[in-house]
Structure 1
């Protein structure tokens, strides 16, 4: 009897403690306290790609805060967890073509987001690709919510900090609860460079439909 109770009770108690103590419940994320760097934002607006997308009627400029569920914004790295001086100092600037599934997100990567060699950390590259490709795929899912089922990345180059980069993504397949997106992360500085290419499979689990009223991601 004791062994049966232990098998059931201990995992439940441990899970409850883990949920209660896990750091994300103490997030310091507060959009109202974020400082936007207008100088960096202007440098992004000065890029040729930004100007081209602004003039293209097939692309709409999107608000990052409306692209993701509010609860998910707490863990959205580039405008939440790593938003700050010498990190990400502007929210991503997004352009989206809903017809073709083409997506662009502009970022400025600060000097603190580096690895030991002084170049932009591959973890930052992977995160920007994951967030960008998922953002491109969300609108094609039935509930506009999903999870990354697979993310394949080919790291090609590294760039120095204080670089303006763009995530370029394109939805290549969408059917039911599955979306396939290809993309890349590219530097937009004087010598444009492909930093990495990626393929993402985004899915909406079946049980999501039972919680359509609840913003859980």
Structure 2
């Protein structure tokens, strides 16, 4: 508050003469009276019904006695804010700075890097080509797969069940799944693989398209990607044959027979050869998808075999997850395709 006297003057006031102490006390009273008059006049300048509340400040009254029989002098000194008040102010400033930086960064990204904001939309477009929100090339790939004679042959087989396992993964989790998120999109795995399986864990067929952004050498698909596709597809083949419908790779053996060119359709054929308790052995082939009208199999590109082992004590966890899915209304067919 303006007009308060410094501490040094207050200490000095204890040794002043009686007459000077009386003058000092009268000056303090006059100062308080002038402040009260100023406050009342300032409130009259505002419209009727409008009131202002000055910031609340803490004061402590100090009494100084000169010891000469004169009345003691009382002075109010402003105290510093409490620790809680200072901590609250500091926290508010920090949070305010974080909000300003966050909103500023978002605005900057929207203006200068809009592609970063809508990056996940490309995954969504590729995962739902049937909704009509994909680009023209993705729709062409989807139409080719849907109308291929081999797909029609699989659909005519009553022992095979048609699924798209990637679409069973919750939308929020897909960007964190390698083959359903990072590797999915235009010029990569444009549409989710179309899978036909017998439901008993004995055989499985997967058809997909591999784009030019998946290459290791120019125009040739990366061998590591082919191994990933074989690992995932062969594992999915044996899941229904295991006690809790899930397993992890213990050994993967891959043999590359010919270069896999980019921008082509491929088919993966998997077969479970042996099951012993929590263990399953699966073999498979990755071939080029035959051109419509051409009889026989496509060109052999990759051969692989895998040993899958179900983790110990996974049963209670899987039963708990299955129970939650059933109680939430999730179809039972989606539970075994985790």
TM-score higher than 0.5: yes
Q: Which residue of 1 aligns with 2:19?
A: none
Partner of 1:45: 146
Task: Determine if the alignment matches structure 1 residue 59 to structure 2 residue 157.
Answer: no
Partners of 1:202 and 1:166 in 2: how far apart?
21
User: CA RMSD for the aligned pairs?
Assistant: 2.7
- Residue 183 of structure 1 corresponds to which residue in structure 2? 284
User: 1:209: how far off?
Assistant: 2.9
Alpha-carbon distance in 2 for matches of 1:200, 1:168: 13
CA distance, structure 2, for counterparts of residue 137 and residue 155 of structure 1: 22
Q: Which has the higher strand share?
A: 1
Shift of 1:99: 4.4
Q: For the pair shown, which has the larger CA radius of gyration, 1 or 2? A: 2
Cα distance 1:72–1:197, how it changes in 2: closer, same or farther (>3 A)? farther
Aligned to 1:33: 124
- Provide, for residues 102-138 of structure 1, a one-character-per-residue CA deviation record: whole Å limited to 9, x for no partner: 1001110011111124211111110110010011111
Alignment map for 1:141-160 (pairs within 5 Å): 141-160=242-261
Deviates more, 1:205-214 or 1:52-61: 205-214
Aligned length: 189
Q: Structure 1 residue 181: deviation in Å?
A: 0.7
Which of 67, 70, 88 lines up with 2:189 in the alignment? 88
SS in 1 for 2:224: helix
Of 192, 195, 202 in structure 1, the residue corresponding to residue 301 of structure 2 is: 195
CA 1:66–1:204 in 2, change beyond 3 Å: closer, same or farther? Answer: farther
Stretch moving more, 68-77 or 42-51 = 68-77
Q: Does 1:126 align with 2:227?
A: yes
Distance 1:149 1:29, change over 3 A: farther
In the TM superposition, what is the alpha-carbon distance from 1:32 to its structure 2 partner? 7.7
For the residues of structure 1 that align with 2:282 and 2:168, how far apart are their CA atoms?
16
d(CA) in 2 for partners of 1:104, 1:94: 6
**Uncovered stretches (5+) of structure 2, i.e. residues with no partner:** 1-118, 130-137, 323-337
Counterpart in 2 of 1:106? 207
Please tell me whether the aligned partners of residues 200 and 240 of structure 2 are also in contact (alpha carbons under 8 angstroms): no
1:112 match: secondary structure = helix
Q: Show structure 1 runs of 5+ residues with no match.
A: 1-27
Corresponding residue of 2:265: 164
How big is each residue's C-alpha offset from its partner over 1:119-170, in whole Å with a ceiling of 9 and x where there is no partner? 1111111011001001111111211121001111111011221100011101
